[in-house]
Structure 1
Amino acid sequence: MRFFFTIGYQIQAVVLGWYVYNITKDPLSLGLIGLAEAIPSIGIALYGGYVADKSDKAVLIKWVVGLMVLASFALYVVTTPSIVALLGTSKVITAIYSIIFIVGIARGFFSPAAFSLMAQIIPREHYPNSSTWNSSIWQIAAIVGPALGGLLYGFIGVHTTLLIIVASISISFFGTFFFKSVPPTYVRKTSIYESLSEGLKFVFKTKMLVGALSLDLFSVFFGGAVALIPVIASEVLKVGAQEFGMMRAAPALGAVLTMLMMTRFSPMGKPWRNLLFAVAGFGISIIGYGLSRNLYLTLFFLFLEGAFDSVSVIIRSTILQLLTPDEMRGRVSAVNAMFIGSSNEIGQFESGLTAKLMGTVPAVLFGGSMTLVVAAVTWMKTQKLIPKTLHDISKGEENL
């Protein structure tokens, strides 16, 4: 389910970004794609976590993926040549943003439901390794998706490619029928306000959790320059859709190879220290990507960006699994989605806005530099967490 869902979602992201930018020639239009998805995702996330804790996760995921099938089919319809000729390009762009808004609503429910279901399927002692394999499956799809998106767009066009996306997400929807029902573990009769407050209080009183989420929020917010790949490919490197697909695939390739390596060499020896190193490496690779004027050098820096990001993903997801009680997983995952899931889209908007205000390359360099600043400040503010080991985290010590 996750593989075909992710591959369809990634192809869709590539195709829509390239399609919208080719029509508007405005980097801010790329940022608005991220904003259209982030606003509903953030707005609904806490309620989505509450619903996930109260509901049968398998049934909830089925409804969410079904909604994604309908959204992808709507994108296919609205980009047909006859509809484009009837509505005009400006109304088609507005329709695309509206459909992406619906996708954002679906994401607000999907993340907490999937996170909760995974935690009940996998034994606790296998959380670190299962997080690595789960993320690797996602990254493999994220490699194939952008590469296919660029190639399919270049050879068969946006309309037929969107039909392939509908097929991929439909296969994912079919996969949800194989999930067995999991009764909710959170059954206390409390108000929605009390329930959501309980989840928020747990996150903000757990120093390592709130530190990890904040670190990701700000680093991805400022380091979201990967969203500008369509502009870099078209205006800086002067390459086409196929090379654009390679550029979109490079970060995921670096991520999946690094994650496979981490199944043997875990980064959880001193997780907080390694997390900060990974975020710093992420910022440096973004700066290199912004300075490069060669396609292959750009691919190398994008590869490194994905590699460093994958280390931080594994560490954060493992910390989240270990420190979260079963009955609060949906709500804590919702807070996580607000910080991490939507930070990518907000970062995409920030990158598009700064690119419009200061130019594409300065915007990329600014984002990478600010990511380094975030890592440095966090290092200075969290000295007590740096020597902590995975054993310390597993014990749930109060000072974490």
Structure 2
Amino acid sequence: MSSASDATTGQAPVVSVARHPPFILFWFGRVMSTLSFQMLSVAVGWQVYEITGSAFDLGLVGLAQFIPMVLLTFVVGQVADRYDRRAIASICMIVEALAAGALALGTYQGWLTRELILALVAIGGAGRAFESPTMAALVQGVVPRELIPQAAAWTTSATQTAQILGPALGGLLYGFGSMTAYVVACVFFSVGGVLVALIRAERVVSTREPATLKTMFSGLSFIRSRPIILGTLSLDLFAVLLGGATALLPIYARDILETGPWGLGLLRTSPAVGALTMSVVLAHFPIRHHVGRALFASLVVFGLATVVFGLSTHLLVSMAALFVLGASDVISVVIRFTLVQLQTPPEMLGRVSAVNSLFIGTSNQLGEFESGVTAALFGVVPAVLIGGAGTIAIALLWMVLFPQLRKLKSLEG
């Protein structure tokens, strides 16, 4: 409840999202969903490779998850702004649970083929395409406005926690058979859907505009008309696009750092641990002043950490660089998430969040592709150095192109 309503009802204002029941349900629902998605990705990847032995087919799995997001982005935004966001997110998780359950059943009965796996992955990807932006838009209706920066940090921590635990748990469960991993993912998705359905939102927002092509693309138009939001989203897009060094971790682990799979595991975990640590710090000590400076500083640190990682030949130094990389990345993530929440009208938030999700997904996927192409052309170490230097260059360029963002003092604009 807001501070104003607290004054009229005599109840103490909510000072922490950790004591706010609707957000607690939201947080655990997000953890369950993201954990399930990470487990499912590991299990599907292993099973497809066992069936086909083809690296190309592994790429098709990622493509099957990515294409629904691209195709459905603008439809998702319309739906999220017209209907109860709790119901949409809950239904999406149930759809993903059914896809995981079908994978388990097909494995048990032996009728699962590569084509069917890809089809089920695409169905789950469609559910996730609706779920991610809808959950992001739901935050504004779950917590008071003054707690949104704190909620952004805790929401990021939920994602990072799941990204750390999910792959490890998926691999562990796969040791008992792929069906076990699918069944657990199905259960976790279902639990997440129930938790979200139980949320009692403070504000249920829906638009009354007639559905037209103009309203479908209005999220994109809104972002273009707001230099601060456009600058933030595009800055993150290009920075991640150039800074995709994590795609080259297997090469670094084996050929440069000369470690085994255990070293690769440590390298993959390091940025997630850094991100989780920083998200917890920001949850307790949110950025309140000189937001623009903090945003650009975090991107410069991200680029420098990438350069240090690229030059490192020692495992501990590489892990430390990746830790700093993950921590600095979260600062920009939390600032971007909070700015979108606070500077977007509630009835427009679904469409803007959908475009934001498309930016994030595109930058992650294309960033890995860019790193691979650059490494093939110039070598692994030069590719990482180019990415780090490019990130710093983008931050400096955006300071000139978006002076409003550079001068931004508070998250309220």
The TM-score with structure 2 as length reference comes to 0.81
**CA-CA distance at 1:263 after TM superposition:** 2.9
Equivalence map 1:298-377=2 (5 Å): 298-355=318-375, 360-377=380-397
Aligned to 1:205: 225
Selected match of 1:131 from 149, 152, 156: 152
**For 1:367 and 1:75, how far apart are their aligned partners in 2?**
38
**CA-CA distance at 1:78 after TM superposition:** 6.3
Q: Deviations over 1:37-82 (max 9, x none)?
A: 3332122111101001111111111221112113333444666795
Aligned to 2:293: 273
Q: Deviations over 1:343-393 (max 9, x none)?
A: 222323333444555555444343333222212211232334323211xx5
Q: How many matched pairs?
A: 384
Aligned to 2:35: 7
Cα 1:380–1:183, aligned 2, differ >3 Å: closer, same or farther? closer
Aligned to 1:60: 88
More off after superposition, 168-177 vs 120-129: 168-177
**For 1:360 and 1:77, how far apart are their aligned partners in 2?**
42
Aligned to 1:114: 135
The percent of aligned pairs where both chains have the same amino acid is: 36
Which amino acid letter does the alignment assign opposite residue 51 of structure 1?
V
Which amino acid letter does the alignment assign opposite residue 95 of structure 2?
L
Other structure's SS at 2:403 match: coil
Selected match of 2:184 from 157, 160, 164: 164
Aligned to 1:195: 215
Q: Deviations over 1:187-243 (max 9, x none)?
A: 424233121243222211100000000011111122223234345445555555554
Aligned to 2:272: 252
Tell me, yes or no, if structure 1 residue 47 matches structure 2 residue 75. Answer: yes
Which amino acid letter does the alignment assign opposite residue 300 of structure 1?
A
Which amino acid letter does the alignment assign opposite residue 273 of structure 1?
R
**For 2:295 and 2:173, how far apart are their aligned partners in 1?**
36
Cα 1:382–1:116, aligned 2, differ >3 Å: closer, same or farther? closer
Cα 1:57–1:309, aligned 2, differ >3 Å: closer, same or farther? same
Which amino acid letter does the alignment assign opposite residue 106 of structure 1?
G
Q: Deviations over 1:300-343 (max 9, x none)?
A: 22211210111111111111111011111111111211212442
**For 1:75 and 1:322, how far apart are their aligned partners in 2?**
40
Whether the 8 Å contact between 2:39 and 2:170 is mirrored in structure 1 is yes
Other structure's SS at 2:405 match: coil
**For 1:164 and 1:352, how far apart are their aligned partners in 2?**
33
Aligned to 1:379: 399
Aligned to 2:23: none
Whether the 8 Å contact between 1:270 and 1:389 is mirrored in structure 2 is yes
Selected match of 2:162 from 108, 118, 141: 141
**CA-CA distance at 1:34 after TM superposition:** 4.1
Other structure's SS at 2:335 match: helix
Cα 1:326–1:35, aligned 2, differ >3 Å: closer, same or farther? same
Whether the 8 Å contact between 1:2 and 1:138 is mirrored in structure 2 is yes
Cα 1:245–1:157, aligned 2, differ >3 Å: closer, same or farther? farther
Cα 1:347–1:15, aligned 2, differ >3 Å: closer, same or farther? farther
Q: Deviations over 1:111-169 (max 9, x none)?
A: 2321222111111111111211222222222222234345555x556554444333332
Gapped runs of 5+ residues in structure 1?
Answer: none
Gapped runs of 5+ residues in structure 2?
Answer: 1-28
**For 2:316 and 2:49, how far apart are their aligned partners in 1?**
23
Other structure's SS at 1:267 match: coil
Tell me, yes or no, if structure 1 residue 284 matches structure 2 residue 340. Answer: no
**For 1:142 and 1:108, how far apart are their aligned partners in 2?**
18
**For 1:226 and 1:380, how far apart are their aligned partners in 2?**
29
Which amino acid letter does the alignment assign opposite residue 122 of structure 1?
V
More off after superposition, 48-57 vs 167-176: 167-176
Whether the 8 Å contact between 2:150 and 2:284 is mirrored in structure 1 is no
**For 2:58 and 2:371, how far apart are their aligned partners in 1?**
9
Q: Deviations over 1:269-305 (max 9, x none)?
A: 1112211111122222233333334333332222112
**For 1:216 and 1:283, how far apart are their aligned partners in 2?**
12
Aligned to 2:21: none
**CA-CA distance at 1:172 after TM superposition:** 1.8
Aligned to 1:388: 408
Other structure's SS at 1:263 match: helix
Which amino acid letter does the alignment assign opposite residue 332 of structure 2?
S
Which amino acid letter does the alignment assign opposite residue 395 of structure 2?
A
Whether the 8 Å contact between 1:53 and 1:185 is mirrored in structure 2 is yes
Cα 1:170–1:186, aligned 2, differ >3 Å: closer, same or farther? closer
Which amino acid letter does the alignment assign opposite residue 149 of structure 2?
P
Other structure's SS at 2:206 match: coil
Cα 1:344–1:20, aligned 2, differ >3 Å: closer, same or farther? farther
More off after superposition, 256-265 vs 345-354: 345-354
Cα 1:96–1:296, aligned 2, differ >3 Å: closer, same or farther? farther
Equivalence map 1:75-94=2 (5 Å): 75-76=103-104, 92=114
**For 2:254 and 2:95, how far apart are their aligned partners in 1?**
33
Other structure's SS at 2:406 match: coil
Selected match of 1:220 from 233, 240, 246: 240
